Amino acid sequence: MYKRINIRFGLGFDLILESEEKITDSQFLELIKINPKKEHEYRAPPHLYSQLLSLFKQKGYEITSSVLQDTALSDNYRDKFKIKLDLRDYQKRALDEFKQNKKRGIVVLPTAAGKTVIGLKAIEEFGQKTIVVVPTKNLLYQWIEHLTRYTSITRDMVGQLGDQIKEIKEITVTTYDSARININVLRKDFNFLILDEAHHSAAKETLKVLRGLPATYRLGLTATPDRSDKGEELLFDLIGKPIIVAKVSDLAKNGYVANYQLKTLKVPLDENERKQYEDFMGIYKSYLRKRNIQIRSPRDYERHLIFRVNQDPEAKAALDAHRKARTLVFSSKAKLRKVEELLIQHADDKVIIFSEFNDMVYLLSRNHLIPAITHETKSSERENILSKFGTGEYSKLITGRVLDEGWDCGSVNVGIIVSGTGQARQFIQRLGRILRPKEDEAILYELVTPGSLEIGTVRRRKKSDVL
């Protein structure tokens, strides 16, 4: 005789599981929680739906469910959703590996390598109602544009949830924030979840999107899933394992992205800056030794310094000293001179400059009359600058982190990173700004201060397995 289970959405976040008898199997109890107020009722987070469904079938349950009952694309969508591009070999391998891994995984490829095309082909092959989640409005509109450019579906067939528009269709693009706010609407029919710039989804608030949707098919797209808070392990549990099919250097050799050079330029501090730097670092290191603290990760930095500031005056002094040391290194006089030299050298090239500090962005902007974009730049001004940079009216642009992702900058052939970075993802995203295929070789300069904390961060980044 079959045991019976009914699965439905509750009024809140969880799935409700109603059983005819008490569930005692430890495999289930690892995934579900007992409702102490109602006999034979259990709760589970929606992301476990397919796993629970499989387990109930394996254990011989007769299942009734109102979850994900109408997930296939209608005939109209299936007829028109035919990709107009041929997949490259590595894109095919990525899709094959995704399918072999129960249609779960995070495709790791650099900017300009065609991650979006893999997502589009997956929608075509699986024929499931799809929600594409992106971190920014720029990417929201890029995905909508790609969906209509590379298939035969029309703009009115693509849903948009974000930028003050709430229109849900069988294929819908949304921002992480809008998805979180509208989770109860999105969880009903969408069985395919695509997460662009998937590393964002490990943030505390956006994890609610991953956990709140019951979608069986889960595809992440990113230049690298690594996060400074080590939250990538959560992503692997909720999306799937990394799928790395090609390094940046291999893609360049085969002509899929531009040939490029990486040039690390050493720019030492002057005598006065060096003395200030050593004084600041002395205060910082002395505090670490005194408190027997070892900093191995950004999380350690937060726990042992930032969170102690209000209780420990010496922690505040150490934190201030460390920040001043970083500021000296990231915006030294030598770096200002080197940027000027490079701008003269590449006067006829299209150049984008990256800096960690807004003060440095604005200083370089004033010194060289280069348009600047930071998180403080108004939307209308930003769009105007990007438009003129795209058409070639502006040949130089300087920015902070705000343009690391979510922007197709076209034919840029020179990048200058004013300060070395230890994050492989950030470096690859910046490299990706110059990797669009072109005849000329692209160059990415990284200005590094010898004998400083930059050396260690650059060394750690170079261990990345996607470069």
pLDDT digits (tens, 9 = 90+) for 412-425: 889 898 875 656 66
pLDDT confidence of residue 32: 94
% the chain with pLDDT above 90 = 53
pLDDT confidence of residue 455: 73
> Is the model more confident about 392 or about 45?
45
What distance lies between CA 150 and its chain's CA centroid? 23
> Residues 112, 88: contact at Cβ < 8 Å?
no
Please give the average per-residue pLDDT across 381-399, as a whole number: 89
Rounded CA gap, 274 and 329, in Å? 9
Give yes or no for residue 231 having a pLDDT over 80.
no
Give yes or no for residue 463 having a pLDDT over 60.
no
The model's pTM: 0.82
Give the single-character DSSP code of 73.
P
> Residues 148, 155: contact at Cβ < 8 Å?
yes
CA distances from 180 to 94, 131, 133, 195, 421 (A): 28, 12, 10, 13, 31
pLDDT confidence of residue 391: 86
How confident is the model over 43-73, as pLDDT tens digits?
A: 999 999 999 999 999 999 999 999 998 999 9
Pick from 85, 73, 155, 136: which is nearest to 115 by CA? 85
At which of 330, 346, 381 does a domain end?
Answer: 330
Please give the average per-residue pLDDT across 82-90, as a whole number: 93
Query: What is the number of other CB atoms lying within 10 angstroms of the CB of residue 357?
Result: 16
Kindly indicate the confidence band of residue 370, based on its pLDDT and cuts at 50, 70 and 90. Answer: very high
pLDDT confidence of residue 271: 93
Give yes or no for residue 403 having a pLDDT over 80.
no
Kindly indicate the confidence band of residue 251, based on its pLDDT and cuts at 50, 70 and 90. Answer: confident
Residue 136 is assigned to a structural domain of this protein: yes
Same domain assignment for residues 200 and 236: yes
Q: Hey, which of 224-228, 303-307, 331-335 has the most confident mean pLDDT?
A: 331-335
Tokens describing residue 107: 């495709």
Residue 198 is assigned to a structural domain of this protein: yes
pLDDT confidence of residue 259: 83
Give yes or no for residue 426 having a pLDDT over 60.
yes
State phi, psi for 243 to the nearest 5 degrees. Answer: -120, 100
Give yes or no for residue 31 having a pLDDT over 90.
yes
CA distances from 133 to 99, 296, 339, 407, 466 (A): 20, 32, 37, 16, 24
> Residues 238, 211: contact at Cβ < 8 Å?
yes
Tokens describing residue 248: 């940046």
* DSSP structure string for 379-444: HHHHHHHHHHHHHTS--EEEE-GGGSSS----S--EEEESS----HHHHHHHHHTT-S--SSPEEE
Please give the average per-residue pLDDT across 301-309, as a whole number: 79
State phi, psi for 74 to the nearest 5 degrees. Answer: -70, 165
Give yes or no for residue 304 having a pLDDT over 70.
yes
pLDDT confidence of residue 405: 60
Same domain assignment for residues 264 and 277: no
Tokens describing residue 111: 């900017």
**152 contacts: CB under 8 Å, gap ≥ 6:** 80, 81, 82, 84
Q: Name the domain count of the chain.
A: 4
What distance lies between CA 247 and its chain's CA centroid? 18
> Is the model more confident about 146 or about 432?
146
Residue 129 is assigned to a structural domain of this protein: yes
pLDDT confidence of residue 303: 78
Same domain assignment for residues 121 and 224: yes
Same domain assignment for residues 425 and 390: yes
Same domain assignment for residues 102 and 228: yes
H helix and E strand count, the chain: 19, 19
Same domain assignment for residues 290 and 358: no
pLDDT confidence of residue 421: 61
At which of 310, 330, 350 does a domain end?
Answer: 330
Pick from 310, 282, 261: which is nearest to 441 by CA? 261
Least confident of 140-154, 235-249, 336-350: 235-249
Give the single-character DSSP code of 158.
E
Please give the average per-residue pLDDT across 282-307, as a whole number: 83
Rounded CA gap, 239 and 211, in Å? 10
Burial (CB count within 10 angstroms: exposed 0-12, middle 13-18, buried 19+), residue 449:
buried
Range of the domain at 313: 271-330
Residue 70 is assigned to a structural domain of this protein: no
Tokens describing residue 2: 């079959």
Same domain assignment for residues 51 and 85: no
Pick from 404, 410, 403, 358: which is nearest to 382 by CA? 403
pLDDT confidence of residue 402: 67
Same domain assignment for residues 216 and 279: no
How confident is the model over 168-199, as pLDDT tens digits?
A: 999 999 999 999 999 999 998 899 999 998 88
> Is the model more confident about 213 or about 438?
213
pLDDT confidence of residue 372: 92
In terms of DSSP bridges, do strands 41-44 and 33-34 run parallel, antiparallel, or are they unpaired?
antiparallel
Same domain assignment for residues 52 and 124: no
Same domain assignment for residues 241 and 276: no
Same domain assignment for residues 13 and 107: no
